[in-house]
Structure 1
Amino acid sequence: MKLVWSPETASKAYIDTVKSCQILQESSVAELVSAMAAGWNTKLIVETWSENGVITTSIGLAVASKQTSGRHVCIVPDEKSRSNYLELMSKSGFLPEVISGEPEEVMAGLTGIDFMLVDSRKMDFARFLRLAKLSNRGAVLICKNASSKTASSFGWRGVLDAGSRLVRSVFLPVGKGLDVAYVATSGGTLSSSGKESRWIKHVDRRSGDVLVIRK
Structure 2
Amino acid sequence: MKLVWSPETASKAYLETIQTCGISTKSSVAEFLSAMAAGYNARLTVEAWKNDSNINGESIATSIGLAIATRHNRGRYICVVPDEKSRLEYVGAMKNSGVAVPEVMVGVAKEVMERLNGVDFLVVDERRSDFISIFNSAKLSNNGAILVCKNGSKIRNIDSNKFSWDSVLDGKVCVVRSVTLPFGSGLEIAYIASKDGSQKVRKYAKRWIRHIDRNSGEEHVIRR
| Band the TM-score falls in, shorter-chain normalisation | 0.7 to 0.9
- Aligned mate of 1:118, from 78, 102, 124: 124
Flag the 1:213–1:70 CA change in 2: closer, same or farther, 3 A: farther
Flag the 1:148–1:127 CA change in 2: closer, same or farther, 3 A: closer
Aligned match of 1:97: 103
Cα shift at 1:163: 4.8
TM-score for the superposition, normalised by structure 2: 0.84
- Tell me, which stretches of 5 or more residues in structure 2 are unaligned? none
Contact 1:173 1:210 in 2 (8 A): no
1:140-159 matched pairs, under 5 angstroms: 140-147=146-153, 150=156, 152-159=161-168
SS at match of 1:91: helix
User: CA separation in 1, counterparts of 2:24 and 2:205?
Assistant: 35
Report 1 or 2 for greater relative contact order, CA contacts < 8 Å, sequence distance ≥ 6: 1
Cα shift at 1:72: 0.3
Cα shift at 1:205: 4.5
Cα shift at 1:23: 5.2
Aligned match of 1:171: 180
- Aligned mate of 1:107, from 86, 100, 113: 113
User: CA separation in 2, counterparts of 1:80 and 1:68?
Assistant: 30
Contact 2:153 2:163 in 1 (8 A): no
- Tell me, which stretches of 5 or more residues in structure 1 are unaligned? none
SS at match of 1:55: helix
Flag the 1:19–1:101 CA change in 2: closer, same or farther, 3 A: same
User: CA separation in 1, counterparts of 2:211 and 2:34?
Assistant: 15
User: C-alpha offsets along residues 173-199 of structure 1, whole Å, 9 cap, x if unaligned?
Assistant: 111000000001312549xxxx94323
Flag the 1:111–1:205 CA change in 2: closer, same or farther, 3 A: closer
Aligned match of 1:206: 215
- Aligned mate of 1:70, from 63, 68, 75: 75
Flag the 1:205–1:77 CA change in 2: closer, same or farther, 3 A: closer
User: CA separation in 2, counterparts of 1:214 and 1:20?
Assistant: 27
SS at match of 2:174: strand
Contact 1:134 1:185 in 2 (8 A): no
- Aligned mate of 1:135, from 141, 149, 154: 141
Coordinate RMSD, CA, aligned? 2.6
